[in-house]
Amino acid sequence: MLQYEDAKLIVWSDFDGTITLQDSNDYLTDHLGFGSERRKELNQQVLYESVTFRDSFEEMLGSVKHPFEECKQALLENITLDPHFAAFYDWCTARQIPVVVVSSGMEPIIRSLLIRLLGERAHHTHIISNDVHVNADGSWHIIFHDESHFGHDKSLAIKPYKQLVADGKLKMVYCGDGVSDLSAAKETNLLFAKEGRDLVDYCKRQNVPYTEFDSFADIHAAVRQLYEGDATLEDIAANRQSV
Residue 178 engages Mg ion in binding (rule: CB under 5 A)? yes
Residue 16 engages Mg ion in binding (rule: CB under 5 A)? yes
Q: How far is the CB of 158 from Mg ion (least distance, A)?
A: 16
Residue 177 engages Mg ion in binding (rule: CB under 5 A)? yes
Query: What is the C-alpha separation between 57 and 22, in angstroms, rounded?
Result: 16
**Contact indicator for 117, 86 with CB cutoff of 8 Å:** yes
Helical (H) or strand (E) element with 103: strand 99-106
* 85 three-class SS: helix
| Residues 6 or more apart in contact with residue 136 via CB below 8 angstroms | none
Rounded to the nearest angstrom, the gap between the alpha carbon of residue 151 and the centroid of all alpha carbons in its chain is: 14
Residue 218 engages Mg ion in binding (rule: CB under 5 A)? no
* 100 three-class SS: strand
Strands 140-143 and 126-134: antiparallel
Q: How far is the CB of 135 from Mg ion (least distance, A)?
A: 27
Q: Active-site residue 23, yes or no?
A: no
Point out which span in 16-24, 46-54, 94-102, 230-238 binds Mg ion (CB under 5 A). 16-24
Residue 153 engages Mg ion in binding (rule: CB under 5 A)? no
Residue 33 engages Mg ion in binding (rule: CB under 5 A)? no
Q: Active-site residue 55, yes or no?
A: no
Q: How far is the CB of 180 from Mg ion (least distance, A)?
A: 6
Residue 198 engages Mg ion in binding (rule: CB under 5 A)? no
Catalytic annotation, residues: 14, 16
Binding site for Mg ion (CB under 5 A): 14, 16-17, 177-178
